[in-house]
Amino acid sequence: MELFMRIDRRLLFAIGIAAVSAAALGYAAARIFPLSQLFNSAHATVQNTVVQSAEADADTDAKYTCPMHPDIVQDHPGTCPICGMTLVKLANGETTKHSDLVHVDIETQQRMGVRLEPAAVTDMHRVINTFATISQDESRTVSVNSKVEGWIKHWYVQGVGQTVHKGQVLYELYSPELQQRQREYLDLLTRRDAMQEKNKGMEMSGPNVAMMGSLAKERFRVRDRLLAADIPRDELELLEAGRRVQDVMPVRATQNGIVTATSAREGSYVNPMQQLLVYTDNSRVWAEVTVFPDQMSWLKNGDEIVLTSGLDNTTQLKSRINLSTLQIDAASRTAKLRLPLSNVGDAFLPGAYAKAVIKSGVHRTLSVPRDAVIRTGHGEFVVVSEGNGHFRSVPVAIGIEDENSVEIRSGLTVGASIAVNGQFLLDAASSLQAMQSRLAPNPKEAEHKADMGPAANALPISSAMPMPMSMPLRTSAHP
């Protein structure tokens, strides 16, 4: 019993000494290190540990992408395997959006035949492409009618289309009426010669002078009637010299031309009411240019028009528009401009067609080559080079057009480098890339489907198995 009591006293004494020592040490530490500093240090240590852990988690979840190829996404820094650009880090929660740029390296561009030209400000003309009909010049057309009654002794015109020359004999006419006129003229010539012979060497007195004047007037009147009957002057001079009536009188062409109509033959009886033939001089013709109503406001006096022959497609004539000849056709609701053409030869014959190109006044504007514009049902586009082999399809609003250029009203700036050859392949690549962008799933939707499991990819019953709108009815009896 005494032994246990002795051990308890030793244990209590040791505990007391430990307590006193701990109190002394705590008092000394409090004097040297304040208590608030110890708590702040411990809090900072814990906070740094949490931040470092969060940064480590963020670095683990960081994504890097290519600015030109957003479909390239990696979990570590590096370069794009397509274009070699340095990958950039995506911000927290940021998703990649597909770009409308297409990258084509230099070698591929050469194989595709891509050619670039800058958009520039040029002088353009509003161009009207239309057609013209060539017609005869009515003032150059000759209609041949016999001035007296008679019969055609010889007919030298073969038919329509024959070329005749000035002074050429068209036909020979036998006419008793014309013979009588010749006799009257010869009788007047005989009376004049007899009076001159009677008064030869004598001074003309009053009655003789009056008679000579009357004979001269009658002679000139009959002579004019012979000329009006289409008797050539050389034949009339031959009549005056020979004093002999000609039974058959030739009728000659008064100008060059081409026969367009004929209605007589050898032996035909003719009179002044009958038209024998028509010939016209095609060295001067009319071009009737057709213009639609919405194009009339574009025309101005003096605008240049170029006509290309529809017969050989090579001969061209240039002229100027004169709006005073403009006529409206109420039946066809079109306008017609008449242009005189001279010395056209055989390229612009009456009845033929010609291509007409009307160029309006100069208009200075931003333009691109016609081949650079891609025309679709959704509008017009051009392919713009962004440099370093990157291309973008840009919608544009176009204006007037000419043979080589198209006006750009909006969508481009001066100096923009555009593709004028191979742009269809580039635009196709851009469209394919845009389609891939629409088909690519959203990262958040992909994570949601992954959490839901295979059921997320299953189609709803209504879409997987569409119900028919109606069931067919069997009308025949069962066998």
The ranges assigned to domains in the chain are 22-61, 63-97, 106-122+364-439, 128-136+282-362, 147-280
Q: What is the CATH number of domain 106-122+364-439?
A: 2.40.420.20
Give residue 123's identity as a one-letter amino acid code: D
The CATH-assigned architecture of domain 147-280 is Beta Barrel (2.40)
pTM attached to this predicted model: 0.49
E strands, 9-166, where?
64-65, 73-74, 88-89, 101-103, 115-118, 120-136, 141-145, 150-155, 163-164
CA distance 189 to 219: 7
Whether residue 100 contacts residue 434, with contact meaning beta carbons closer than 8 Å, is answered with yes
**SS3 (DSSP) at 105:** coil
Structure confidence at residue 94 (pLDDT): 53
Structure confidence at residue 29 (pLDDT): 54
**From the centroid of its chain, how far is CA 162?**
42
Residues 6+ apart with CB under 8 A from 475: none
Whether residue 277 contacts residue 263, with contact meaning beta carbons closer than 8 Å, is answered with yes
Distance (Å) of CA 36 to CA 22, 31, 45, 183, 400: 20, 12, 14, 158, 83
Structure confidence at residue 472 (pLDDT): 37
CA distance 288 to 302: 17
Structural Rg of the chain based on CA atoms: 55
Structure confidence at residue 204 (pLDDT): 62
In order, the DSSP letters of 237-248 are HHHHHH----SE
Structure confidence at residue 296 (pLDDT): 80
Structure confidence at residue 302 (pLDDT): 86
Task: Tell me which residues of the chain have a pLDDT lower than 70.
Answer: 1-14, 16, 19-61, 67-69, 71, 91-100, 201-206, 422-479
Structure confidence at residue 38 (pLDDT): 44
Q: Does the 128-136+282-362 domain belong in CATH 3.40.50.620?
A: no
Structure confidence at residue 397 (pLDDT): 92
